[in-house]
Structure 1
Amino acid sequence: MTTDAVNDEDRPYPWGPGTATGVGSYPGGDAAEALRTVLGEVPELPHLPELPARGPGADMIGRTAGLLVDLAVHVEPSGWRFSDRPGRDTRRSHDHLARDLDLLEEVAEGHDGPFKIQVCGPWTLAAGIELRHGDRALRDPGAVRDLTESLAEGVARHVADVRRRLPHARILLQIDEPGLPAALAGRVPTASGFSRLRAVEPPLAEHGLRQVIEAVDGEAFPVVHCCARQVPYALLRGAGAKAISVDLTMVPRKDDDAVGETIDAGVALFLGAVPGVDAALPSLEATAAPVRELWRRLGFPAPRLAEQVVITPACGLAGASPRYARAALKRCRDAARMLYEAAE
């Protein structure tokens, strides 16, 4: 779907006002059905669904590990681990993504609006992959440096591939960093679980994230998703994020200054306003109310909300039923539209 607002090069955001989207993951294993649902329910800003129920290589860590250049991984009972050479598990990651992109090219042919893809960020990835001897990669600065450089190159190739398949679309790259707050706070457990890894210094974390964002500079609009508490808004802005995606229920009043500074800087917010797992959906008004309340509390003009805020589920929908996932996306779209119409 295309609108004049989306095509207007003078607009600061690649979507039009009153837009909703999904976070990334989706239930089940039918990639075609998931993609058609996303295109149908959030057509103003659809995304490439991730289906972790398909098994290793379709999960957040394994899917992105498959993008790494000159670094291979395999699955151990403890999780993902670096390998000396590509094997079955790396090939499985490649195959899942290749099939998804072939399907995207077929189903979304001709799409000429914004389109979002997702990858795992360097710090969450480093906390989720073990070195060959078993320690988390996050423990070794050299390993993190190599991983980040490999990821940046792999993500740039991935974005180029998606742009080739959707030549008329405006690509958004969402970098998932749910593990970043724990890495900054020194809360990531060691492989044994008996202690915690040393905290990552904020300038180092910002630099690593910036490397990945700069790798797609001009090719994709960068969004950083962090559905944990203690979102480091200033760090994400410093790294080059043009939008920050959060779970609205985890935005406490003590974060008001940081959120306000983010909005004032022109950075967009993707606000998770709909539960991500099966639940009784709140009314449309109750869904929109926390978004309105945050905006009013911060004192920004109402019309700006519809332009700068995108409504999403609280997090990925992998743990929901397909029926609920569809309903949740529709509720996000309806809430975004209501917020837009109320501001006109």
Structure 2
Amino acid sequence: MIFEPGGMATGIGSMPQHDPADALDMIKKYLPEIPHWPQLPQRGREEHFVNQFLKPLVKTGLLVDDGNKTFFDTTKDDWDSRLTEFYTTYLAAEEGDLAALNEFALPVEAAAGFYAFLEDLQKGAGDARMLKGHVVGPISAAFQVKDERGRFAYYDEQLRDLVVKSIASSAAWQGTKLGRFGLPVLIFIDDPALGIYGQSSYITVTREMILEDFSTISQAIHGTGALAGAHSCDAIDWSLLFEAELEVVSFDAYNYFSSLIPFIPSLKSFLSRGGALAWGLIPTTNGRAMDEDADSLLGILDGEWSELTGRGIDRDTLLKQCLITPACGTGLLDPASAERIYQLASQVSQRMRSGKGIR
């Protein structure tokens, strides 16, 4: 399929508010067409990016959470039985058992923003044309937790599989929940740690492993009828995501546009398959958003699109297959800065779509 959002704006996920209602008010004000549920890390450890999506593994007893850190303990006497229980539940969920799928739900105490989003949608979707969710990426998650020996979970085939399948099931649960409102759903796999690929310290992390992990999660998303996207806010090997089973690739267009250039052939193939780019044009670091306005940001985007058209990519395709977003999440900022960023995303999107932006 060809995904043509035509410059609509959305967010990445994290926001600085403590009260979900405040976050939702800001989302509805500035991103009404593709609202997202707000992850609220400043509420505490439970709502931190990785912790949210590891809760199903904690619930099964496979992952230990001692209040300071989470880790796998494969030496526990009941490890094998708990492993069997996990895969039994996973396979049942994959076959469409909703009770099994609900075992991978985000806990209320770890995702206040998600449940507030659902409650708000039950009152009406307003101007929404699509709903957006997100999950942690497999690289970020499996390099966040270790086993009992202090070894990263990603290096253990079994532990990596547990992490990936748990995320995939959580994504499917989200897609199912959001899909009940009768609107298209887009779920991002947010994986800032993708930047480790190709580094000498992580030479055993292969391209095939990453593509396999993303395939497992994207297939789970697609199984619910939702679209799958991926976000990384670093200069990475973008061909990984362009070649994955994704409809959207989200990147920091403000700081790392040049990192796309070596991967123009893969980008062309991605766009020709109908994929869309989410242009993270609104800066989220160092207070830079306060120094920019819609005109200056559209000027940056115009220059970037000129670079791509000069390399054989059609400008109309870029416009049709385009989302506008912040460069990254805003969860660690103050609310005023986050609001400025969302305001700019809205203004840039509106200017583009009114024909007063870039052509």
* The two structures share one fold, judged by TM-score above 0.5: yes
2:161 equivalent to 1:142: no
2:266 equivalent to 1:261: yes
Q: How does 1:119-158 map to 2 (within 5 A)?
A: 119-158=135-174
Structure 2 partner of 1:273? 281
Give 1:172's aligned amino acid: L
**Distance in 2 (alpha carbons) for counterparts of 1:291 and 1:80:** 41
- Taking structure 1 as reference, are residues 305 and 74 closer, same or farther at Cα in structure 2, changes over 3 Å only? same
CA deviations on 1:108-159 (whole Å, 9 max, x unpaired) are 2332521111110111110011223332212212211222123222321232
Per the alignment, in what secondary structure is the counterpart of residue 57 of structure 1? helix
Give 2:39's aligned amino acid: E
**Distance in 2 (alpha carbons) for counterparts of 1:301 and 1:38:** 31
Structure 1 partner of 2:71? 81
**Distance in 1 (alpha carbons) for counterparts of 2:196 and 2:111:** 32
Instruction: Report how far residue 74 of structure 1 moved.
Output: 1.2
CA contact (8 A) 1:14 1:170 kept: no
Structure 2 partner of 1:292? 302
Q: How does 1:89-100 map to 2 (within 5 A)?
A: 94-97=107-110, 99-100=112-113
**Distance in 2 (alpha carbons) for counterparts of 1:284 and 1:35:** 23
Give 1:105's aligned amino acid: L
Q: How does 1:284-323 map to 2 (within 5 A)?
A: 284-299=294-309, 300-323=313-336
CA contact (8 A) 1:65 1:73 kept: no
Per the alignment, in what secondary structure is the counterpart of residue 129 of structure 1? coil
CA contact (8 A) 1:18 1:338 kept: no
2:223 equivalent to 1:203: no
Residues matched between the structures, number? 317
Q: TM-score if structure 1 supplies the norm length? A: 0.83
- Taking structure 1 as reference, are residues 58 and 184 closer, same or farther at Cα in structure 2, changes over 3 Å only? farther
Greater RCO, CA 8 A, separation 6+: 2
**Distance in 2 (alpha carbons) for counterparts of 1:97 and 1:169:** 25
**Distance in 2 (alpha carbons) for counterparts of 1:257 and 1:317:** 29
2:174 equivalent to 1:179: no
CA contact (8 A) 1:274 1:281 kept: no
Give 2:279's aligned amino acid: L
2:350 equivalent to 1:337: yes
CA contact (8 A) 1:263 1:269 kept: no
Higher helix share: 2
- Taking structure 1 as reference, are residues 254 and 208 closer, same or farther at Cα in structure 2, changes over 3 Å only? closer
**Distance in 2 (alpha carbons) for counterparts of 1:304 and 1:260:** 15
**Distance in 1 (alpha carbons) for counterparts of 2:27 and 2:56:** 23
Instruction: Report how far residue 319 of structure 1 moved.
Output: 2.1
Structure 1 partner of 2:86? none
Q: How does 1:217-256 map to 2 (within 5 A)?
A: 217-218=222-223, 219-229=225-235, 231-253=236-258, 255-256=260-261
- Taking structure 1 as reference, are residues 208 and 160 closer, same or farther at Cα in structure 2, changes over 3 Å only? same
**Distance in 1 (alpha carbons) for counterparts of 2:208 and 2:56:** 25
Give 1:226's aligned amino acid: S
More divergent stretch after superposition (109-118 vs 258-267)? 258-267
CA contact (8 A) 1:14 1:114 kept: no
- Taking structure 1 as reference, are residues 28 and 74 closer, same or farther at Cα in structure 2, changes over 3 Å only? same
Give 2:329's aligned amino acid: G
- Taking structure 1 as reference, are residues 198 and 302 closer, same or farther at Cα in structure 2, changes over 3 Å only? closer
Instruction: Report how far residue 67 of structure 1 moved.
Output: 4.5
Q: TM-score if structure 2 supplies the norm length? A: 0.79
Give 1:313's aligned amino acid: P
Give 1:177's aligned amino acid: D
- Taking structure 1 as reference, are residues 48 and 249 closer, same or farther at Cα in structure 2, changes over 3 Å only? same
CA contact (8 A) 1:26 1:317 kept: yes
Structure 2 partner of 1:12? 2
CA contact (8 A) 2:254 2:282 kept: no
Structure 2 partner of 1:46? 35
**Distance in 1 (alpha carbons) for counterparts of 2:28 and 2:265:** 32
CA contact (8 A) 1:19 1:306 kept: no
CA contact (8 A) 1:67 1:158 kept: no
**Structure 1: which 5+ runs fail to align?**
1-10, 188-196
- Taking structure 1 as reference, are residues 254 and 287 closer, same or farther at Cα in structure 2, changes over 3 Å only? closer
CA deviations on 1:302-323 (whole Å, 9 max, x unpaired) are 3333321211111110122112
CA deviations on 1:80-109 (whole Å, 9 max, x unpaired) are 3236799xxx99x61235643432222223
2:104 equivalent to 1:104: no
Per the alignment, in what secondary structure is the counterpart of residue 118 of structure 1? strand
